[in-house]
Amino acid sequence: MAVPVTQSPAELSLWWNTLPPELLTPIGSPLPGDTTADIAIVGAGYTGLWTAYYLLKSDPALRVAIVEANYAGFGASGRNGGWASALFPAGLNALARASSRSDAVRMNRAMFETVAEIGKVATAQAWDIEWEQGGTVVLARTPLQLESARAEIADYRSWGFGEDDYALLNANEAKARVNATDVLGATFTPHCAAINPARLVRNLARTVVSMGAKLYEETPVTAIEPGVLRTGSGSVRAEVIVRATEGYTPSLAGEKRTLAPVYSLMLATEPLSELVWETIGLRSRETFSDGRHLVIYGQRTADGRIAFGGRGAPYFFGSKITAAQDRNAQVHAGLWRVLTDLFPAISDARVTHTWGGPLGIARDWWASCGFDRNTGLAWAGGYVGDGVATTNLAGRTLTELITGEAMGSSDITSLPWVNHRSPKWEPEPMRWLATNLALRAITSADEIENRTGRPSRRAAFLASKTGH
């Protein structure tokens, strides 16, 4: 990953800025020169670290090397919204078309189990990641959004999911959880926990190193080839190499069109008073969103703030990633308008942190993981922002694929996303045009629906192209 260190940890996010000193202590060091390993992993975010964790649990004698351009948790793993969620980028219908209805349901249930697995590991390892599994509430704030919520729950019923997994809330039930404006109803799923994502990634990195992994930080990888990864300070030779680089994947030789890095931006308020929280709700730290097409997401943090984010930042030509792109005054101002529209009681609160970062999107909107035993190359990514939990499933799946040994009773290596091959993105300038036109179309779809009260044909078209 040829992306140099450009930011101190405190600049990256609220989560990094409020870490305790012991989690800010450097964990790795630069690669000193050529070395060898049994398995080399490129990227010290959730994907790479969970893969190392389960590999070393499977076989503590394995020589695992993790090579990171910056420092563990620098990317999306330390900047996201903190939803350890069962959400998966491809919907049930898309999964069924690629495999079968039963496999689509297995994928969904594997994601349920993955949320629980993260909680179990955190408890077993005594990690304080500010975990609270209050579920997710998606508010319906217009008649059209309520109609969509009803249709969504009816669809889940047709797949065999009951109220324990997905429920439709009436207005009073929804407001009892999230007392936002204009609430007509909501959907609710318990399969999500609010966490502090930087605490998770830093604890995971420390644990993996304590298990015997070698972590080489400040070492950008320039190329991955069968049997070797190359950096400016030396090469790492290994029988198996895992690409776990998500939004930074285009910086690798030959990977320019594999994933598109699209920015998601966030803000956080100061800690709010108990009086304000009595007005807002979120007593179980439910994660929350609403039924608009342009994604928004929020949580009540353990220290009483609202951390809130959304899409809206442009895609940058040539998959460019810079520190300057982490903040966009116009987008952050728009997020604040949305948040105060939801919760007028916070209108006088200070915004103490703004940040952002790139996530990875495949051309067909699928996340995937896989292993080619002939070349020894493995990969996982394309989470479209749903990676906090999905990366754990990736780590377990890659471990089983690489070792050939099952870690549990369920057959996770035959799930529909395993060895899925997404098409390449178009070359520039088509990639820039298509991605930013899609972003504009999503924004205008919300505007059209709010103005007319009728479903947007643009939104339906985009949903058909992204598997949703």
- Please write the tens of the pLDDT for every residue from 211-242: 999 999 999 999 999 999 999 999 999 999 99
Task: Specify whether the CB–CB gap between 114 and 392 falls below 8 A.
Answer: yes
> Could you tell me if residue 118 is inside a domain?
no
273 with 286, same domain: the answer is: yes
More confident residue, 1 or 338: 338
% pLDDT > 70, the chain: 96
276 with 170, same domain: the answer is: yes
Whether residue 243 has pLDDT greater than 60: yes
Q: Angle 197-210/46-58 helices, nearest 10 degrees?
A: 40
CA dist 96 and 94 (Å) reads: 5
211 with 304, same domain: the answer is: no
Q: Assign 5 a pLDDT band (cuts: 50, 70, 90).
A: very low
What does each C-alpha distance from 25 to 8, 20, 48 come to in angstroms? 13, 9, 20
Domain CATH number, residue 221:
3.50.50.60
Q: How many domains does the chain have?
A: 2
Q: What is the pTM of this model?
A: 0.95
69 with 192, same domain: the answer is: no
146 with 276, same domain: the answer is: yes
Average pLDDT over residues 76-97: 98
> Could you tell me if residue 335 is inside a domain?
yes
59 with 170, same domain: the answer is: no
Domain CATH number, residue 173:
3.30.9.10
Task: Specify whether the CB–CB gap between 64 and 38 falls below 8 A.
Answer: yes
Average pLDDT over residues 60-80: 98
Whether residue 1 has pLDDT greater than 50: no
> Could you tell me if residue 26 is inside a domain?
yes
Q: Assign 451 a pLDDT band (cuts: 50, 70, 90).
A: confident
183 with 211, same domain: the answer is: no
Largest CA distance in the chain: 63
> Could you tell me if residue 220 is inside a domain?
yes
Q: Domain limits at 433?
A: 133-196+262-363+428-466
What pLDDT is recorded for position 2? 42
Least confident window among 59-73, 188-202, 234-248, 318-332: 318-332
Residues in the chain: 468
293 with 358, same domain: the answer is: yes
